[in-house]
Structures are given as C-alpha cells and as structure tokens.
Structure 1
Amino acid sequence: MARIETEPVRKTGNIASDTIVTTKKYCQIVCFNLEAIIHLEKWAEAEGFIREISAMSDDIDIHSTVADIILTSAQVPHDYLIRSLQVLVIHINSTKLPGYIRCIFDICIHNHETNTALLPTCESVLDQAYIHAQDMSTSISSTMRDANDEQLEVYPDEELEYLSTTSFNLAVDLYLAGRREDAQRWARKAVGLARLIRDGCNRGRLTQVLEAKYGKWLTYGVD
C-alpha cells in the first residue's frame, strides 16, 4: 500500500495559519498519491489507501475531495468505487451527504442487473438516506420554537423525491420479475421517503400517488 508521504512545511508562527497551510499541503499530497494509484489501476491498493485516509484524518474537505476524485474517474470499477464511497461518506458533513448518497444509489441502480450483488448495497444506501433525513427532520422539529433560525439543515426535497420515485419504479420491476416480497419492501421504503418531504404540497401529492399505486398493486396486481 502506498504510504502518505509528507515534507516539512515552513511555519509562520501563527497557529491558525500554519494549521491551514499544513492541511492544504496534506490534502494535495493525498490527492497526488490517489490519482497515481488510480492511473496505475491498482484498485485494491486504492481502496486500502482510502481506508487509511479515512482512519487518519477527520478533515471533512479531504474526504470530500477524495470522493470527488474517484467519482470523476471513469477507470474505477463499480465494486471498488461503491465500497470506497461508503467509507468516505461517514466523514462527509450533512450538507454534502445527500449528493454523495444519490451518487452511490445511482451507480447501484444502474448496474444492479449486471451485478446482482449491488442491489443489497443499494437498499442499504436507501436506508441510510431515510435515517439521515428522519434524523434531520426530528432535529428541525425540536428546534422550531426559534422562529428566527434560518440555518437549519434539511435533507433536500428534490433528493427525497428522486430516491422515492426511483425506488418505487424499481419495486415495480422487481414485482414483474416475480420477486414480490422484495418488491413490496422497496415500495414501502419509497412511500416512507415520500412522507419525509418537507414541502407540504409535494409531500402530500407524491405520498398519495405512491400509496394509491401500492394499494392498487396489492389488490389487483401490476399491469
């Protein structure tokens, strides 16, 4: 495994300034090392390197930068890409997390037919999105007494709507493939995500549509 090599950084005497310089230097070194490993297509080494970064650093920007590097590389195989992203998102802040969750979800959804092992991963990512959105919703509810608080972080409605509708469509596909138990589980998860949409109109409309389709589905089947 490639080690993270460092070189001396000239100190200014200002602790805050020195910390910023050191962090930027470390981030640059990490990126150069990772890009070199990816270029050589040493996937197991790249995955180990990312796990090492995750264990060594609590810096949020480094984890986001590394995630962007592997996402923008067309070379990285899906299995390594997904596992590496799952390691990194643990350290990514809540504002950026929904975007990365969607990236992992998309990769799994679009490739699960050729790699059946991706479907459980996709479901796990969906559960992570639900838990994160629910936690944020609960946090907001507990602080709504302060009407002037405009800094509350929320799980974006458009992300929840996308995950919900895509999951329901997959549920239909699973049903048509004869996997009824899996299909019903995915449909219930889709409805659950729709209920977390904060925009009252969209939440009610999407939830009603999915619940109606699911109810008809259970009664008459899928056409």
Structure 2
Amino acid sequence: VINENDTVSVEEIKFGDNDALAAMVVDLVEADLLVILTDAGGVYTADPRKHADARRIPEIERVTASVEALAASGESDLGTGGMITKLRAARRASEAGVRCAILPGEPGMLGKLLAGEDVGTLVQALGERQRLRKRWMLDLKARGSLLVDDGARAALIERKKSLLPSGVREVHGTFLSGDPVEIATLDGRAFARGLAVYSADEVRRISGLRSAEIEGRLGYRLLDCVVHRDDLVVTA
C-alpha cells in the first residue's frame, strides 16, 4: 500500500493527492495500465448527481483543458482530490504512454474491465512509453523558467536539439545547476521541461550569446548548452 503522509511530507516531494502518486508509481513498477477507482461511474459530461441528462464518457483520447473542465464542478467531498485530480493523474500516465481506466469502486469492476466490457472511462495513451528518467523530470517541481524565441522552440521540438544560450530571451526564478526548469515561449506557454546546466544567474549572463562565447563571459564553460537534449522532455 502506497499512501502520502501529510505529516512528514515536504514541499519538494509533496504530491498533493494519491491520484498523482499512483501515476508516479506506474513508472516505478513499469505498469501497462493505471486503474483509478472512484465513487463515480467514470467521467461524465456533467455532474450526474445534479444533471439527469449527464452521460458517461466511455473513452477519452486526450485529457485537455476542456475535458478537465467537465470534472471541475463534480468533485467528491471525500479526500484531498476529486475527479479533477483523477483526470490529471490520467493525463500524466497518458503522456507517459500508459493507458488509464477510471472505474467505479464496486465489486467485479476490474474483472469486467479486463474482460473488455464497457465500464468507466478509458483514457488512451499518447504515443510510445517515455523513458523513466524523462518522466521523473516531469514530476519534479520546476525552480524557474526560460523563455525562448521561435527558433529555439523549433530546434527543441522539430530537430530534437539541446537548448543553446542564443535562444534564451528571459530567465525567471532562482535555480542552481541541475535544477528542473520550465521552457516556454515568449508569451509564457510552457512546452518543455529540463535540467539546467547553469544556474539562473549564469544563464542571465550568457543568454543571447553563441556557445563559443560562454567561456569568455563566465570564465569557464560546463557545456555548450543551457539544457542538454538528454535532460529535456517536450510536454506540448
């Protein structure tokens, strides 16, 4: 049994609810399916306790903001989370390449699911399963953010390159070398996360420079990039 203990948890390792914790355990045990039990019959188009015409959604291809909005008004009063936290956990698993079934916590439901019956809501996996290291990076709390130009964004997403200092336009937050940071467009839309090679102060000093100019500005050079490709995962 795995359960978050609110008494001893600290900010750096606090998950906030057991749904999020379950999604993380999926990686640790290399599970093929995440099953979340709930007091509801699955995900509905509206709160079935308040709307007689609410319909169960048997399958969700991708958990989007509009899908999360369906659950925002139908949360349970029990526990830390509700349907919204279950959908976010399902999204986390889905983005890792693992399907998630949200089922009513009733006897026999797991057997029906495994038999292929139409029960609850099945959230499909997005693409292939990600490496555990990259999933771990997504679970870490970002210590800051880097706003990059369109050229850098294209290099990261389309050409799968490292983030070079020349593409960094703004640095937010306080972080050290090795800390997780969000990578976002100039208007603040996060699309990737990675581990910083340099601290926030160092990145501010070298942002906009070519890699060959790093040593001249800092007096040393750790790597030619701000975030290495091996330590970066695209999230959008």
Asked if Structure 1 and Structure 2 have the same fold, meaning a TM-score greater than 0.5 normalized by the shorter chain, the answer is no
Scaled by the length of structure 2, the TM-score of the pair is 0.27
Higher helix share: 1
Q: Which has the higher contact order (CA 8 A, sep 6+)?
A: 2
